Structure 1
């Protein structure tokens, strides 16, 4: 039997420094409805999300359509890049990808963030064996987790992610077997 994990990068949100409560933008709300349209045909049995509002809002339509509550898992939250925000985001994010053990002050290294993401995914694989599970999450932690299973999911891959985006990771007996993009949005 196969366990399918649908990693859902949240839809567009307008930047605010409040990571936890940053909502989707009007565009993001429209795209979240499209996420629901894509995932409703995937026989999803459980919906999980990062505690961040934008991730929850991206999958809440699916949970509602399925008559389910969203299970919040803290370890699917976005990686913390640097305390207080980066002066030059592009430079800061490039450095942590180029040097996986490096972390900015108050931030997470790629290695630590990846370990957190993989630990969370392994918990889902144990708890929801042979099920189809959608997880609302964030671009960096999502790609770092995917990178653990397939190294082609790297910094350049992350830069090309859409917002939202959906990838299905398939596992047989907790062993990774396949990754496929299923988002069919315009971006």
Structure 2
């Protein structure tokens, strides 16, 4: 049975790719390392954003596993314009998957790129893989495997958060495993 641990990055001080973890986020990264310390992990793949890499770096060092970077795991851009009602617009994109705002990416396209990563892992040789990504993208992956995962579930995610996806006999199920 193949397993993918999908991690939402730890608490960060912003949204740009270079945003750093907060002091609390650095503590959370150590907690993540401890959380996975007894688990067999074969591979770690991360968004190239600094906050994602820094969230998993303590574990990668502990396990002596190189972090592979994959641009398909970067956060989805809702729009390049400032949207005062961005939260309501984001809610709508969970229901209208092809909806796209100026300079942004629709939910369907974002979903397809993270699902591509997950399917490559499930079809690969490694048994236990960690992927580190961002909240919206994580939600879209979970929605792909269980269509009723939506906006309200996204709002309940924590920083960090961890879901375990299992592929058994070509059926993917998931559960939240973070405390």
- TM-score calculated relative to the size of structure 2: 0.94
Cα shift at 1:29: 0.6
1:24 maps onto 2:21 in alignment: yes
CA gap of 1:48–1:174, structure 2 versus 1, over 3 A, is farther
> In the alignment, which residue of structure 2 is the partner of 1:182?
177
CA gap of 1:67–1:6, structure 2 versus 1, over 3 A, is same
User: 2:64 aligned to 42, 62, 67, which one?
Assistant: 67
Q: Which runs of 4+ in 1 moved over 4 A?
A: none
Q: Is the 8 A contact 1:4 1:171 kept in 2?
A: yes
Moved more, 35-44 or 25-34: 35-44
Which 5+ residue runs of structure 1 have no aligned equivalent?
none
> In the alignment, which residue of structure 2 is the partner of 1:169?
165
CA gap of 1:142–1:62, structure 2 versus 1, over 3 A, is same
Moved more, 96-105 or 159-168: 96-105
- TM-score calculated relative to the size of structure 1: 0.90
RMSD: 1.4
CA gap of 1:152–1:97, structure 2 versus 1, over 3 A, is closer
Cα shift at 1:12: 0.6
Aligned length: 179
Which 5+ residue runs of structure 2 have no aligned equivalent?
none
> In the alignment, which residue of structure 1 is the partner of 2:115?
118
Moved more, 71-80 or 120-129: 120-129
CA gap of 1:65–1:85, structure 2 versus 1, over 3 A, is farther
